[in-house]
Every structure is written in structure tokens, then in C-alpha cells.
């Protein structure tokens, strides 16, 4: 199965040893390290999960990471068959990924019912 | 044109400003990075209320402006041309945000802010200016200025700016990270200044830091620990959740207008005996500046992210592991900047 990254909803930047991904809809952001970075790049380039597992062999950790990406709406399944070839020059290391949701409350406030007189973005006291 | 057209609504608000019976206010010009902003206040009371945080960048003898804001209160606007269901996150109003116009509603105060990208005119309307929340005084017009900056290489960054004339640093971090305390500790050193404690303007092409707001805020509880701040606090704003310090009124020399931005500091509360500044990564800087800026301000999240990437790659990244003593924190920052000179 192949996947797409909707760049209208998800933005990312890859540094040498870490990728930072932001879900614009939920406000959650993520840090990827290890082979999570390469897998993210391969998925974005149109590689299928079978191809990635074939390359790296560790089906369990790769499937778990891809399931996480789907659950977080960072990728969606796709019928696309074209792909951009990526040269993999890093040995496989366990995908490391961390979610930060400290911005979530800011976005999920109900603007009509969950603000007090001090106004947005302060949450209404319980 | 119809009422639900943002252009029509913008003109309606502008006409309301022009026809306002109370319009006997004044125009003020402020230095906005390398540009000039003209703010037309409809009444002197609103000017006094809204201008304190911008007073350090007021400029005189200016004949033209690059951006204009009309700030007024009026009870004559009694209904909005949108429905309750049209309110989105960060007060954005569905149907009133186009490539030309940006519109947001400030929940709590009921203020409406609009910006026209074509004419570079912004409007801040509120029914009664006494409803303007205290925190708006600390960063007036931030949404409008954010929308304006979208068309430039500037970014209105949710971070503090500190440093010396030759070199400065961003201080960015989550609430509780020690960002405010670290910023305010700079008041203890003659050789350190503050460009802003919450929002600063940064030119991402030239890496220049510009002060925008001179108001610093501190939790009331923290005033006991940072007792050197007590004489500086504006005690007239008692309703505020945080104590407010208008630095241009109380310690003018501590406000840095402009500086070369070279470093990004990410404060971490360690409660160690000593404050240490250690290298970290560009990714850590991006995580500390991008989400908080992107999701505090309405619209332009993708552009904001791209500008934050540029900045995180231009600045030298450091983590500042904070000790408990404010004087010692300021000394560590001063020594660092002098060493790197």
C-alpha cells in the first residue's frame, strides 16, 4: 500500500538527525529520529509499506510506525503508483517518534462556549 | 456588493470610523522594523490605553506611512454579517478571509480585526474600548501586524528578544520554561537589554531583531522571587492575570530597539546552582519557535513555519540550563555574548 502526505495539512522539515512535523489541523507536532526520518521520506516519495519493509526487514517496528502516522492523520492511503527514487545510505535504526500536543488546547477551544471574560486564548475555568 | 462581502464589510467599518461622532483623536506613527505604521485613534482615551506598549517606537515628523491601522470604538455596529457557526479557531471568520482580506473576532472582548493586503490598511473595532482586555495592551494589534508581515520577510515571532547592541538572542520556550524570568533577569545587568518578552519582529532575510512591544509580563506569584521588579510594575492594571511592566516608562534604557540576531536560546529550568549555556540543535530551535507562533496567530501557518525554518538554520542554537539565581542567569548571558563577540 502507498500513502500520501497532504502538504496543505502537514508541514515538515528534515534536519541531519531529526525531522520536525506539524499537523496544521490538530496543532500536534512531532519529532522523528532514527529510521523514522527515512521512512517518512520514503512514504512521501511514494514507496509502499511492502517496499520499505523489504528494504529494512524490521516489519514490526515499521508497521507500528506507519500505523502511528495514519492514526495521527499525517499520511493517508493512496492509489498512486508513481514514485520518486530515493537513495538510502543510512543503516536501519529503530524508528523514534515523539508527539507534542501542547498546542492542541489552543486550537480545540470552542470559541463560543469555552472562553471566559478574559477572552481567548484563556480556557474557561472549570 | 453585499453585506457578506469582506470588502463591503471593511468599507462599512472604515466609514463608521470616519463618521464617528467621537472622532477627535490623533494619529501616531511608529517604527515597524524599517517601515512606518500610522495608527489613527478615534479618541485620545483609546490612544492612551493602546499605545503604552508601542510608545518606545513612536516617531515624529513623518509624512507618510507604509501601513495604516484605524482603531476605534463605536456602538453603532450592532450586528455582524456572519453566523455563530462561522467562527473558527483563533477567531478566524469563515467567508471573511480571502487572498485580499483577513478577519478575526476577539472572543471575550468582542473586538473585530480586519486587514486589507492590497491597501495595507487594518481596522481594530470594538463596541466600547473599556472592553479591551488587559493582555491586548501588552501586544496591541498583533493579529493585524502578523497579517501585514505575511507579505514581507518579517515574522512576528512568539519569543522574547534579549542581548546587547552588537548581538542578540531569541528566547523561546513553552509556558513554564523560564522564558519570562530569564528575559526579566536582563534588567539586572547594565550591559543587557530587552527587545520584547513575548513577541518580537525578526527579518528572516537579514537576521535583524526589532523591538515591537515594550511591555513585559510576570506572574504575580513570581514577583516575590523577582522582587527587583516590584518598583517597575504598573499597579493601575490590577485585573491582569500577570503583573505588567511598561519598560519604556520605567526603565527606558533597558529597551533594545534593534540588534543583529545571532543566537537562539531555549531555556530549561534545572534548578541547578549554576546557569550554563550549551549547544543544542536547529531542530530544537524549530520546535521551540514554530508551533507556538503558528498557532497563536490566525492564518499563515505554512508561511510562518517556512520563516521559522529559515531562522532556525541561521541562528546558532543553544540551550540555557537555568540556575535559580536571576543575577547569576543574567551574568551567564552577558558573559556568553561577550565571549562570542
Nearest-neighbour CA in chain B from A26: distance (Å): 10
Nearest-neighbour CA in chain B from A94: distance (Å): 19
Identify whether B139 is part of a domain: yes
Same domain, B109 and B215: no
Q: Give every CB contact of residue B106 below 8 A, 6+ residues apart in sequence.
A: A119, A120, B91, B112, B113, B126, B133, B136
Under a CB-based contact definition with an 8 Å cutoff, are residues A30 and A72 in contact? yes
Same domain, B29 and B95: yes
CB contact under 8 A, B295 and A112: no
Identify whether B40 is part of a domain: yes
User: Which one of B97, B125, B152 terminates a domain?
Assistant: B152
Give me the phi and psi of B101, to 5 degrees please.
-115, 145
Query: For residue A121, what pLDDT band results from cuts at 50, 70 and 90?
Result: very low
Same domain, B17 and B107: yes
Under a CB-based contact definition with an 8 Å cutoff, are residues A90 and A38 in contact? yes
Identify whether B324 is part of a domain: yes
- Among the listed residues B35, B38, B103, B102, the one whose alpha carbon sits nearest the alpha carbon of residue B70: B38
Same domain, B99 and B165: no
Same domain, B148 and B166: no
Identify whether B20 is part of a domain: yes
Same domain, B255 and B281: yes
CATH of the domain at B173: 3.40.50
Measure the CA–CA gap between B252 and B155, rounded to whole angstroms: 25
B198, B199, B203, B208: CA torsion to nearest 10:
-40
Same domain, B292 and B218: yes
DSSP B247-304: HHHH-GGGB--EEEEEEEEEEEEEEESS-EEEE--HHHHHHHHHHHHHHHSSS-HHHH
Under a CB-based contact definition with an 8 Å cutoff, are residues A24 and A10 in contact? yes
- Is residue B220 helix, strand or coil? coil
Domain tally for chain B? 2
Same domain, B191 and B94: no
Same domain, B85 and B187: no
Domain that holds residue B121: 6-152
Q: Which residues of B touch A100 (CB under 8 A)?
A: 287, 291
Same domain, B76 and B136: yes
Write out pLDDT tens, residues A60-92.
Answer: 999 999 999 999 999 999 988 788 999 888 899
User: Which one of B130, B152, B174 terminates a domain?
Assistant: B152
Interface test with B, best of A29, A30, A101 (most B CBs within 10 A): A29
Same domain, B90 and B141: yes
CB atoms within 10 A of CB B57: 23
User: Which one of B95, B120, B152 terminates a domain?
Assistant: B152
Q: Which residues of B touch A97 (CB under 8 A)?
A: none
pLDDT tens for chain B, 341 residues long, are 577 899 999 999 999 998 876 656 689 999 999 999 999 999 888 999 999 999 999 999 898 999 999 999 998 888 899 888 888 888 889 999 999 999 999 877 889 999 999 999 999 999 999 888 888 899 999 999 999 999 999 999 999 999 998 899 999 987 778 898 899 999 999 999 999 999 999 999 999 999 999 999 988 888 888 888 989 998 777 667 788 999 999 999 999 999 999 999 999 998 788 999 999 999 999 999 999 999 988 889 999 999 999 999 999 999 999 998 999 999 999 999 999 88
> What are chain A's domains?
2-108 (3.90.930.60)
Identify whether B84 is part of a domain: yes
Identify whether B1 is part of a domain: no
This complex has an ipTM of 0.91
Radius of gyration of chain A from Cα atoms?
17
Identify whether B253 is part of a domain: yes
Same domain, B91 and B114: yes
Alpha helices in chain A (DSSP H): 35-44, 49-56, 59-71, 104-108
Measure the CA–CA gap between A123 and B107, rounded to whole angstroms: 11
Amino acid at each position: 500500500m502507498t500513502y500520501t502526505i497532504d502538504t496543505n495539512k502537514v508541514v515538515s522539515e528534515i534536519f541531519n538527525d531529526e525531522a520536525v512535523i506539524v499537523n496544521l489541523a490538530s496543532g500536534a507536532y512531532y519529532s522523528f529520529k532514527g529510521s523514522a526520518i527515512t521512512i517518512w521520506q520514503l512514504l512521501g516519495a511514494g514507496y509502499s509499506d511492502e517496499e520499505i519493509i523489504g528494504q529494512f526487514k524490521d516489519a514490526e517496528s515499521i508497521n507500528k510506525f506507519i500505523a502511528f502516522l495514519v492514526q495521527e492523520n499525517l499520511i493517508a492511503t493512496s492509489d498512486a503508483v508513481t514514485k520518486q527514487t530515493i537513495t538510502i545510505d543510512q543503516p536501519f535504526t529503530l524508528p523514534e517518534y515523539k508527539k507534542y500536543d501542547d498546542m492542541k488546547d489552543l486550537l480545540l477551544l470552542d470559541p463560543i462556549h469555552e472562553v471566559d471574560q478574559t477572552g481567548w486564548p484563556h480556557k474557561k475555568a472549570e | 456588493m453585499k453585506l457578506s462581502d469582506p470588502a463591503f464589510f471593511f468599507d462599512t467599518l472604515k466609514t463608521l470610523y470616519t463618521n464617528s461622532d467621537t472622532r477627535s483623536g490623533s494619529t501616531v506613527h511608529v517604527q515597524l522594523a524599517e517601515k512606518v505604521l500610522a495608527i489613527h485613534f478615534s479618541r485620545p482615551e483609546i490612544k492612551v490605553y493602546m499605545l503604552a506598549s508601542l510608545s518606545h517606537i513612536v516617531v515624529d515628523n513623518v509624512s507618510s506611512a507604509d501601513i495604516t491601522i484605524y482603531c476605534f470604538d463605536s456602538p453603532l455596529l450592532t450586528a455582524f454579517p456572519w453566523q455563530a457557526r462561522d467562527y473558527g479557531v483563533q477567531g478566524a471568520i469563515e467567508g471573511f478571509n480571502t487572498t485580499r482580506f483577513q478577519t478575526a473576532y476577539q472572543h471575550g472582548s468582542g473586538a473585530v480585526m480586519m486587514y486589507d493586503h492590497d491597501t495595507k490598511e487594518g481596522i481594530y473595532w470594538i463596541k466600547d474600548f473599556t472592553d479591551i482586555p488587559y493582555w491586548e495592551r501588552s501586544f496591541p494589534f498583533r493579529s493585524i501586524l502578523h497579517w501585514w508581515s505575511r507579505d514581507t520577510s518579517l515574522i512576528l515571532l512568539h519569543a522574547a528578544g534579549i542581548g546587547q547592541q552588537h548581538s542578540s538572542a531569541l528566547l523561546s520556550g513553552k509556558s513554564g520554561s523560564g522564558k519570562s524570568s530569564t528575559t526579566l533577569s536582563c534588567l539586572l545587568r547594565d550591559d543587557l537589554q530587552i527587545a520584547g518578552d513575548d513577541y518580537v519582529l525578526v527579518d528572516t532575510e537579514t537576521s535583524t531583531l526589532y523591538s515591537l512591544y515594550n511591555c513585559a509580563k510576570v506572574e504575580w506569584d513570581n514577583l516575590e522571587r523577582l522582587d527587583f521588579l516590584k518598583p517597575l510594575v504598573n499597579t493601575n492594571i490590577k485585573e491582569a492575570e500577570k503583573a505588567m511592566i511598561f519598560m519604556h516608562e520605567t526603565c527606558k534604557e533597558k529597551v533594545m530597539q534593534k540588534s543583529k540576531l545571532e543566537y537562539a536560546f531555549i531555556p530549561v529550568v534545572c534548578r541547578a546552582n549554576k546557569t550554563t549555556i550549551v549547544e543544542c540543535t536547529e531542530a530544537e530551535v524549530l520546535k521551540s519557535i514554530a508551533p507556538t507562533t503558528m498557532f497563536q496567530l490566525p492564518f499563515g501557518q505554512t508561511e510562518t513555519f517556512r520563516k521559522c525554518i529559515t531562522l532556525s538554520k541561521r541562528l546558532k542554537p543553544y540551550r540555557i540550563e537555568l540556575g535559580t539565581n536571576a543575577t547569576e542567569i543574567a551574568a551567564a548571558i552577558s558573559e556568553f555574548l561577550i565571549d562570542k563577540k
